[in-house]
Every structure is written in C-alpha cells, then in structure tokens.
Amino acid sequence: MGAKAKKAMKKNLKKASSQLVASARKTEAADFLPLEGGPGRKLPEQKPIEDKATVLYIGRVPHGFYEKEMEGFFTQFGKVKRLRIARNKKTGKSKHFGFIEFESPEVAKIVADCMHNQLLFEHLLQVHLIPPEHVHPKLWRGFNYRYKPVDCVQIERKRQNKERTLKEHAKLVEKIMKRDLKRKKKIESAGIEYECPEIVGSVQPAPKKIKFDDE
C-alpha cells in the first residue's frame, strides 16, 4: 500500500469517527425520539417554578398560644405581615388553627420546613404552605382588631323586650296557648291530675299617660 493510499485511509477513518461522535452527541442531547423514525428532538428548557407562597396554615395550636404569643414566636424567623386565629363567633374561643403571612416567601418556606411536627405544649404543630391561588380573598378580613364574641344574652334580651304591636302580641299569645295545650295533653296521657293555670288570651294595651299643664 502506497503512502497516498495510507493517507486517504486515515482521512476516511477520521471523517467516519467524527461523524459517529456527532451523531452520538445528537442522540444524547435529544429528549424526544419520534416513533416514525428520524432525527431526535430536544424539548424546550422549562424554568423551575418560583415558590411565591407567603401564607402558612398552622394547625393544632395549643391553648394559650394566641395572637400575641404567635407573633412574638414567629418574628424570630422574619417579619410577620399579618396573622389570625380562627375563633368561635359566639364564645370567642380559639378553634386551634390559624394562618400567618410573612413578607418573604423564603422565610415562609423555612418556617414550614422547621416548624412542621414540632412539639409545642404537648401538641405537634401542623404547618403547611398555602399556594397563592388557594388563599381565600376574605381570609384577612378583620385580622387587625381585638376579637369580641357576640353577646347572645344581650341580643336575646333586646329581642324579648322590644315593643310589639297588637297583632304581634296576639300572635305571641296564640303560640303560648298552643304550646300550653300540648303540655296539657301530655300530662293527661301520663295519668297525672293537674290543672294548668289559665292564660289570658287577650291583653288590653296599657292606657296612655295623660299630661297635665303646669299651673
């Protein structure tokens, strides 16, 4: 074999090896190979989704760990924007869960990772991030006021003591008499001899006060 033939063979070998390396690189870089055959396709790069959640759900909140205590405790991680504890509307007692919002999403993620299943006053705290799209728009309504439970006694007192018209008063007496009649029937069916006091069906309205001129 002559020198020219050797050079040509080396050149062909180099060309073939470079083509193999290029095809191997293409197949490695390809993310999708079509079933029909043909060159591989590379999928577009997807950027990682940024976690912008700043609101945390806190469950199993122990008794005595309320708004002031919660704010003082979680301030060590970062600035607390706002927080609230779910409370009973009638009694004002805590429902043992609440929500807290931080200014920074990074701080919120750290709190969720560190405080989940942490023992606090014999309670394992349940701390979870809430995605922004799942935060209710009315969640923070009334978060910045001192909670006062509804005074049911006062409301009922006002309802009972309100001034009624003759029609409303007659309707009220009719309802009382129906209830009293049911009670009488139950007493008679039980074989008990008892005379219930009579209820006056029609009550006359109080006379108007007469004003006298001062002499």
What's 116's DSSP letter? T
User: Tens digit of pLDDT for each residue in 141-182?
Assistant: 876 556 677 788 888 888 888 888 889 888 988 998 898 889
Determine the pLDDT at residue 215: 47
Whole-angstrom Cα distance, residue 107 to residue 74? 10
User: Tens digit of pLDDT for each residue in 85-120?
Assistant: 998 877 888 899 999 999 999 999 999 999 999 998
User: Tens digit of pLDDT for each residue in 181-193?
Assistant: 898 889 889 888 8
User: Tens digit of pLDDT for each residue in 16-64?
Assistant: 666 655 555 554 555 555 666 666 666 666 666 667 899 999 999 999 8
Mean pLDDT of all residues in the chain?
79
Give φ, ψ of 42 to 5 degrees.
Answer: -100, 125
Determine the pLDDT at residue 191: 87
Tell me the CB-side half-sphere exposure of residue 64, using CA atoms within 13 A.
Answer: 4
- By the 8 A CB rule, do 110 and 118 touch? no
The model's pTM: 0.51
Q: Is the pLDDT of residue 138 over 60?
A: yes
Place of tokens 């008499």: 177
Whole-angstrom Cα distance, residue 105 to residue 100? 12
Q: Residue 158 belongs to what H/E stretch?
A: helix 152-161
Give φ, ψ of 65 to 5 degrees.
Answer: -95, 80
Whole-angstrom Cα distance, residue 12 to residue 107? 61
Whole-angstrom Cα distance, residue 137 to residue 141? 8
Question: What's the chain's Rg over C-alpha atoms?
Answer: 40
User: Tens digit of pLDDT for each residue in 118-134?
Assistant: 998 889 999 999 999 99
